[in-house]
Amino acid sequence: MELRGIRRCWDQSLAHEQPHVVIALLGRFKNEVDESHHLMPVVYHTPRGLEPSKWVKRVLDEYERLNIQSGYMFRNRDGTKIKIKDLEPKFHDGRNYCRILP
C-alpha cells in the first residue's frame, strides 16, 4: 500500500455517490516492466459495522503528523518496505493479539 496513491484518490472516492476508499498498491504485477499503482476500491463501511475508511484515514493522519507524504504504508524505520516474514511472528505469538475495546 502506497501513501501518495491513497491520498491522491481520497477526496474523490469519499465524494462519490457510493463512498468508498481507494487503496493504492505499488509494484510490478503480472510481468509488468515498471512499478505502477494498481487501485483497489474498498467499501466505506461494511454491513457488519467495520469501517475501513476510519482506519485508513487514521494512518494517513499519523503519517501527515510525521510529515511523511509518500512511501509504503507498512515500512521499516528507514522507510523501506517491511517484509511479510518480519510481521509473521507478531501474528503467531499468542501474547501479541488485538482485542476490540467497548
CB 64 within 8 A of CB 10: no
Rg, C-alpha atoms of the chain: 15
Q: Which stretch of DSSP H or E encloses residue 54?
A: helix 52-65
CB 39 within 8 A of CB 5: yes
CB 56 within 8 A of CB 21: yes
Provide the pLDDT for residue 101. 40
The overall pTM is greater than 0.75: no
What is the rounded CA–CA span in Å between residue 14 and residue 60? 14
What is the chain's pLDDT, residue by residue, as a tens digit (102 residues)?
888 888 888 888 888 888 889 988 877 667 766 667 788 888 888 889 888 889 899 989 999 999 999 888 888 888 888 887 877 776 666 555 555 443
